[in-house]
Structure formats: structure tokens, C-alpha cells
């Protein structure tokens, strides 16, 4: 059987240090934590968890709070969180809230009840000020979406900048009648992408037309994206480009265009967001913004781990996005 | 503040009965349990959970063990489990295993460590005999997929019968060159659907051709479905019908046919399985088998609740499927 001494030897630290790591003393440096945990993993060392948990009042469980986990956008984020959690000896459990505030609170009440050590919130309304009460007391990290006016640590891309990138590209192709399909949800990413859309038009002296802004459902569903595109494409003076804030919406827009006999990209440029598998399902493959989802997930766990073990942190991490040009966009004809 | 007497009055039982329910005595009938819990919900009665949990050693947490939760098939199952759990005062947390046995075991070790009261397994290999050790000791229910030779309670449809229904229909349309796209996973549903395919051919005196059986990835991905269809459709004597064991695979097959200039359904009938949203994404809408996913989820929770509170149960529940004819199937031309 592996002993605590074996772990100390493997990690090249003292037994006391291993013990401090196991008991989450705040005096251990993160690098040392990591080295010791790797040794624990490697040697399959199992401290007497239940006794330790009682003593330390820790669960080694973290919660991932998500509104609708079958959204393909979450796949790699969940892998990133799950892999990192597992490396550090934590179980990452997902709490599916359907986007309901009652369930979001219910999930965080588990922190109160000491059933989890911390939580990563995947999507939360921009104005969820009720979160403050929890974030002041418990380890909480925002991942992708975040509340605007609370000082809670977070990981995301720069959605505003990504939106500007998309719009600069569309405008550089010569388009002037540019529409957008946004979402009826209240996420910061939705707000910032719409701001980017509006600010780009203004910067280039293109008048904003309210009827060029359509909205899909809160969950970015294919059907609602398609319906929104129908509305845009059947109006007068229809747009020659549509910036969709998700790939699934973009897919809906492509199908709508197809049914209406409008050719993509010859007569209509369509851009998506996220780079999920849907983008290369069929031709035209979708031009889109790619997010480093796996890394976003890993980073969120690491920040949470830091807070759980070292206390408060207000880290704000912004990871880079990429713009991927495929087949659904073309210069104005 | 609501008291235990208020709950007793509302549920029309004695205070002692409410107390027995709260303490999960096995002497309470299920109907009474349900009535008392409804009263608790209605009156928002909150017993002192943490004290009770310590005493009873219960967590009011159940685990949902899933391989790949972004598979759209799981959306309604997860809602069904989550809603039922919430009604009974439980938190349902999802443990994402990526289909790895180590992680499946890790999830069930949480039962050992008293971090959850029971588990619903969403997808598990047909031959996971290692499960016996856990199922003998802890409340576990199979949902959709199950091990063949273990006496663990389960909820699913009759996959073999559903497969026969599909095949009878295809054969009734006059098709004789019938292929199938199965999956490389080792789930009972995969085995039973393939058995149904083979037995139907035999029953109708149609020779089984090994090269009419192609396989998609374990996770039923669109891309692997498309690749499998390419293989079938580029071979000699190509099939006039393909029975796909998932809708996403069927979608891949339709795109493959399209790229190869084969018309669906005129020159090729394609059938899916599950009835996820993908089936009506674009024309031709996909003929498929519909599963009562929400009810499957609810039922799985109810059985688990029974085991947690009343002890061992070997219930096997089979819920009815439906066959939905849309546009991707037609009589042989």
C-alpha cells in the first residue's frame, strides 16, 4: 500500500508538506500543490478521505452550474473543467438549472450545506446581483458569461472585440445592408456582441436599422434562428449579410435562405459564432468565431481551486478567440 | 414559520408519520411518502437538514452518470430526472464520464463516500459486470442502457421490438437491399437494434450481406455517420434503404447521399432513431423511432427514490416507443 512517505519522496517534498497539501493549508505554494497532487495521482495514493473530510469539512466536489447542457457549445468547456478537476482530485458535478433563477440558487445552496467546495457558473444573467451574497462567502467562478457589476473572478473571451472582428470583415467585403440575429437571453456575451455590431456600423457611417436586428430564443435554437432569418429575409430591402451570435442560429439562417431560394454566399453572407461541429455539417461550411473552450474550462477550474485553497481572488482572465473564414461569406456581388 | 404539525395537517397524516417520512423509515407506504412530500413542497417546510443529514447519513443528492451529455438524446431524459428529483426534494447532479470505466467507477465511489444517496446510470456497456459490487450495496438504476446479466432495476424502451418495427416498414415498402449503420459502442440498445435488423431480414428470406453493415463512432457523431454512409453508397450494388441507429447518423447519411447525387427518398430511404430535433432540421425530414425520453427520466428517478427509501427493488420498466413516418422514406422506385 502506498504511504504518505512514498508520495513525499515522489514529489520531492517533506511528509509535512504532503500533509499540509492534504489538509489544504494556505501556506503551500501552488506549484508545490500541483507537484504533490501529481504524485498522489501517479501512486494512486488514497488518504482516509472520509475522516479527512469530516475534519476539514471539505467535500472535494465542485459544482458546474449550467442552464442547458445539451448545447454543443458546452462540450469542450465541460471536458476542460472535468479533466482539470480530476487531475487535482476533485469530482466535478453538473447542476442543470434550465436557466431558472430558483434552480441557480438551489445549486448554490449546496455550498451553504457543505455539499460542495465551490462552483463554476457557466451562464448567468448579466444582472444577477443576488449572486453577491453567495460570492462573498463561497468560492465561485464565472465561466464564459458573467454578471457585470460584481467583482467575481471570471474566464471568457472578449466578446465585444470578437464582434468587431466579424463586422470589420463583413464591411471589408463591401456589405452595407448588414443584419444581426441576437438572442432573447440576458447574457453579457449577447449584449457585447450586439454592442460590437452597432458600434461597427456607426464607425463606418452605416445607419442602424432596427428592423435589421432579429432575435432568436434564449437557448439559440435552430428553429428560432431559422424563424428570425425568415423575418429578416422576407422584409423589404433585405440584408446581404447576417451576423448570427451562434452557429446553430447561423445554420437555421442558411436553411431559411435555402428555402427562400437565396444563395449563400453568392447573395447572402452568413456568419456564426463559437465554432461547434454544426459549422461543417454541410456546405456552405460556416465562417465563424472560434472560442478556446477547453482552455476556458481548465482555467476556470484552476481559479476555483486557488480560491478554495488560498482564499479570495478577483482574477479576470480573457482568452484569445480566432476568426475562421469558411464558405458562408463572400464579397458583395 | 411552518412546523411539522402544519405538514401533518396538510397531508392528513400524523406528526409521527411525517417524522418517519423525514427519517426515511421503511414502514411508510409510497403513497404516503408522496403525499407528505407534496405537503412539504407546498408549505415550503424546511426541516433542519444538516442535523438530519448527519443523523441519517443521507445527502438528498443523486448522481446521474452520463458518458457524453451534449448528445441531444439526453436533453429530455435529464429534464425528466431533474424535475422528478426536485419534486421529491433531491438535487440531481450529473457526472460526465466521457464513457471511461475509470470515471464511471469514480462516480460510484461517491456513493461509498456518502456523497450521494443513489445513482442513475444513463449509458453503460452491456458487459459491465464490475457494477454488481456497487449495485449490491448502493441504490442504482439503469436508464436507457443496461448490463445484460445483472439484476439491476432499469427503464428503457424495447429496442429489439423498435428495430423490428423499422425493418417491417422498410420491407413493406418493397426494399430488399437494406443496409444498417450501427455504432462501435457496446450498449445493449446497439446490440438489440442490430439483432432486430438481422432477424427481420432472416424472417423475410433476405440474405444478410456483411458489407451492408457499417459502423459509426461510439458517440453516434454526424461525421462518422456520414463516413459510414459513404462506404455503403460507394460500394457495388448499393443499398436502397439504410436503417441508422441514431438520428445524427441518419443526418450524416442524408448529407452523404446528397453529395453523391443520390436522391432521398426517391432513390434511397433513410431511417433514424430517437426523434431528436435534428430530424426536422431540413428536408427531407427524417422518419424515425420516438422514445418517451422525459417519462424514461422521471420513471428512473421514481424507482431510485423507492430503493433509497424502501430498499432493494428489481423493477424492469419498458416504456412504449412510437414510429414516426416523415419524408426520408418511400416505396422502392
Band (A147; pLDDT cuts 50, 70, 90)? very high
Element holding A322 (H helix, E strand): strand A322-324
Helix, strand, coil percentages (3-state) for chain A, rounded to 5, are 45, 15, 40
Does residue A22 have a pLDDT over 70? yes
Q: Which is higher by pLDDT, A100 or A68? A: A100
**Residue in B130, B118, B62 with CA at minimum distance from that of residue B93:** B62
Residues written for chain A:
333
Alpha-carbon distance values, B148 to B107, B137, B188, B301, B329 (Å): 21, 19, 7, 21, 33
Mean pLDDT of B313-324: 95
Q: Are B117 and B58 in contact (CB under 8 A)?
A: yes
Nearest to B281 among A61, A71, A255 (CB): A255
Distance between CA atoms of residues A239 and A242, nearest Å? 7
**Cα A317 off chain centre by:** 12
Of B95, B106, B255, the CB nearest to A281: B255
Identify the pLDDT of residue B285.
97
Contacts of A74 in chain B (CB under 8 A): 70
Query: What does the pLDDT average to over B16-22?
Result: 77
Q: Can you tell me the distance from the alpha carbon of B142 to that of A241, in angstroms, rounded to the nearest whole number? A: 48
* Bridge partners of residue A181, in order along the sequence: A214, A244
Would you say residue A55 has pLDDT above 50?
no
Three-class DSSP labels, B297-333: HHHHHHHHHHHHHHCCCCCEEECCCEEECCCCCCCCC
Mean pLDDT of B189-207: 98
Whether the Cβ atoms of residue A247 and residue A273 lie closer than 8 Å to each other:
yes
Pick from A230-234, A281-285, A293-297, B11-15: least confident: B11-15
Give mean pLDDT, residues A186-213.
97
As a whole number of angstroms, the distance between CA A288 and CA A12 comes to 47
Q: A235 or A284: whose pLDDT is higher?
A: A284
Rounded Cα–Cα distance for residues B319 and B73 (Å): 16
Laid out side by side, the sheet with B140-143 consists of: A316-318, A154-156, A140-143, A118-121, A61-66, A91-96, B91-96, B61-66, B118-121, B140-143, B154-156, B316-318
Residue of B nearest to A75 (CA): B70
- How many angstroms separate the CA of residue B199 from the nearest CA in chain A? 33
pLDDT-derived band at B25 (thresholds 50, 70, 90) equals: low
Alpha carbon distance A234, B97 (integer Å): 46
| Structure confidence at residue B93 (pLDDT) | 94
Q: Which of A175-189, B20-34, B69-83 has the lowest mean pLDDT?
A: B20-34
CB atoms within 10 A of CB A224: 21
Q: Does A78 touch chain B (CB under 8 A)?
A: yes
Q: Which of A93, A249, A293 to mutate: most B Cβ within 10 Å?
A: A93
Pairwise CA distance, residues B9 & B20, whole Å:
15
Question: Are A75 and B72 inside 8 Å of each other by CB?
Answer: no
pLDDT of A274 strictly over 60: yes
Smallest CA-to-CA distance from B274 within B123, B99, B136, B94 is with B123
Q: Tens digit of pLDDT for each residue in A83-94? A: 999 889 899 999
Calculate what percentage of chain B has a pLDDT beyond 90. Answer: 66
Return the pLDDT at B174. 98
Q: In b/e form, how buried is each residue of B227-254, taking b as 16+ CB within 10 angstroms?
A: bbbbebbeeeebbbbbbbbbbbbbbbbb
Contact A281 B69 (CB under 8 A): no
- Given this model, what pLDDT does residue B160 score? 98
**pLDDT of A51 over the 50 cut:** no
Q: If you average pLDDT over residues B86-113, what whole number do you get?
A: 89
Residues of A in contact with B67 (CB under 8 A): none
Nearest 5°: CA angle at B125, between B124 and B130?
A: 85
Contact B93 A98 (CB under 8 A): no
Residue A303's Cα: distance from chain center in Å?
Answer: 14
Angle between helix axes B30-42 and B15-22 (nearest 10 degrees) is: 90
pLDDT at B31 over 90: no
Average pLDDT, chain B: 90
Distance (Å) from the alpha carbon of B217 to chain A's nearest alpha carbon: 15
Mutation choice for B interface testing from A51, A282, A284 by most B CBs within 10 A: A282
Residue A229 has pLDDT above 90, yes or no: yes
Tell me which chain B residue has its CA closest to the CA of residue A278: B222
ipTM of the complex: 0.78
pLDDT score at B38: 83
Grid cell at residue B305: 427514490
Q: Are B137 and B294 in contact (CB under 8 A)?
A: no
Q: Report residue A69's pLDDT band, with 50, 70 and 90 as the boundaries.
A: confident
CA distance B34 to A83: 39
Strand partners, B183: B216
Report the candidate in A112, A188, A198 with the shortest Cα–Cα distance to residue A145: A188
Terminal alpha carbon distance of chain A: 72
Could you give the CA distance from residue B39 to residue A83 in angstroms, rounded to a whole number? 42
Report pLDDT digits (tens) over B290-307. Answer: 999 999 999 999 999 999
Q: Which three cell numbers stand for residue A218?
A: 434564449
With residue B75 as reference, give the H or E element that holds it.
helix B74-87
| Nearest by Cα to B281 from A193, A254, A164 | A254
Contact (CB<8Å) B103/A86: yes
Residue showing cell 478567440: A321
> To the nearest whole number, what is the mean pLDDT of chain A?
90
Contacts of A98 in chain B (CB under 8 A): 79, 82
B-chain residue closest to A58, CA distance: B115
Categorize the per-residue pLDDT at B195 as very low, low, confident or very high, splitting at 50, 70 and 90.
very high
Kindly report, residue by residue over B41-57, the tens digit of the pLDDT.
788 776 654 444 444 56
Q: How many CB atoms lie within 10 A of CB A24?
A: 15
DSSP string for residues in A103-140: HHHHHHHHHHTTS-SEEEES---TT-TTHHHHHHHS-E
Amino acid at each position: 500500500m502506498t504511504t504518505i512517505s512514498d508520495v513525499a519522496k515522489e514529489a520531492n517534498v517533506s511528509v509535512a508538506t504532503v500533509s499540509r497539501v492534504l489538509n489544504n493549508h494556505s501556506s503551500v505554494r501552488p506549484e508545490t500543490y500541483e507537484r504533490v497532487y501529481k504524485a498522489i495521482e501517479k501512486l494512486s495514493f488514497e488518504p482516509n478521505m472520509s475522516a479527512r473530510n469530516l475534519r476539514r469539512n471539505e467535500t472535494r466536489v465542485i459544482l458546474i452550474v449550467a442552464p442547458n447542457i445539451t448545447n454543443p457549445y458546452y462540450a469542450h468547456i465541460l471536458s476542460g473543467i472535468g479533466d482539470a478537476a480530476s487531475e487535482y482530485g476533485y469530482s466535478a458535478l453538473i447542476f442543470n438549472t434550465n436557466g431558472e433563477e430558483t434552480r441557480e440558487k438551489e445549486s448554490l445552496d449546496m455550498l451553504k450545506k457543505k455539499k460542495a467546495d465551490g462552483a463554476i457558473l457557466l451562464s448567468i444573467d448579466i444582472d444577477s446581483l443576488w449572486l453577491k451574497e453567495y460570492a462573498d462567502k463561497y468560492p465561485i467562478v464565472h465561466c464564459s458569461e458573467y454578471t457585470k457589476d460584481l467583482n467575481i473572478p471570471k474566464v471568457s473571451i472578449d466578446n465585444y472585440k470578437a464582434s468587431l472582428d466579424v463586422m470589420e470583415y463583413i464591411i471589408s467585403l463591401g456589405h452595407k445592408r448588414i443584419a444581426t440575429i441576437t438572442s432573447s437571453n440576458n447574457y453579457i456575451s449577447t449584449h457585447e456582441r450586439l454592442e460590437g455590431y452597432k458600434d461597427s456600423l456607426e464607425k463606418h457611417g452605416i445607419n442602424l436599422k432596427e428592423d435589421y436586428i432579429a432575435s432568436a430564443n434564449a437557448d439559440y435554437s435552430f428553429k428560432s434562428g431559422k424563424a428570425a432569418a425568415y423575418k429578416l429575409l422576407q422584409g423589404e430591402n433585405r440584408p446581404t449579410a447576417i451576423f448570427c451570435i451562434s452557429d446553430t442560429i447561423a445554420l437555421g439562417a442558411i436553411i431559411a435562405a435555402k428555402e427562400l431560394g437565396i444563395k449563400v454566399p453568392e447573395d447572402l453572407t452568413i456568419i456564426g459564432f463559437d465554432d461547434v461541429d454544426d459549422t461543417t455539417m454541410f456546405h456552405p461550411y460556416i465562417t465563424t468565431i472560434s472560442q478556446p473552450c477547453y482552455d476556458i474550462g481548465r482555467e476556470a477550474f484552476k481559479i476555483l481551486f486557488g480560491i478554495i485553497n488560498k482564499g479570495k481572488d478577483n482574477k479576470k482572465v480573457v482568452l484569445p478567440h480566432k476568426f475562421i473564414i469558411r464558405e458562408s461569406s463572400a464579397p458583395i456581388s
